[in-house]
Amino acid sequence: IQDLTFLNKNYCLTELYLNNNELTDISGALKHLHALRILLLHNNQLKELGKTVKELKGMIRLQTLNLFYNPLAQDPDYRLYVIYFLPSVQLLDRKSVTQRERESALHLYNWARSCVQQSIAFGRRVNTPLGAPVGSSRCTQPARRLIMPP
Single out the residue of 99, 97, 91 nearest to residue 40, CA to CA. Answer: 91
Per-domain residue ranges for the chain?
Answer: 5-111
Q: How far is CA 114 from the centre of its chain?
A: 17
Half-sphere exposure of 43 (CA within 13 A, CB side): 6
Give pLDDT tens digits for 108-143.
888 665 555 556 655 655 555 554 443 333 333 444
Q: Is 91 helix (H, G, I), strand (E, B) or coil?
A: strand
Per-chain mean pLDDT for the chain: 82
How far is the C-alpha of 87 from the C-alpha of 109, rounded, in Å?
13
Could you tell me the fold of the domain covering 5-111?
Answer: 3.80.10
pTM of the model: 0.74
79-94 residue pLDDT tens: 999 999 999 999 999 9
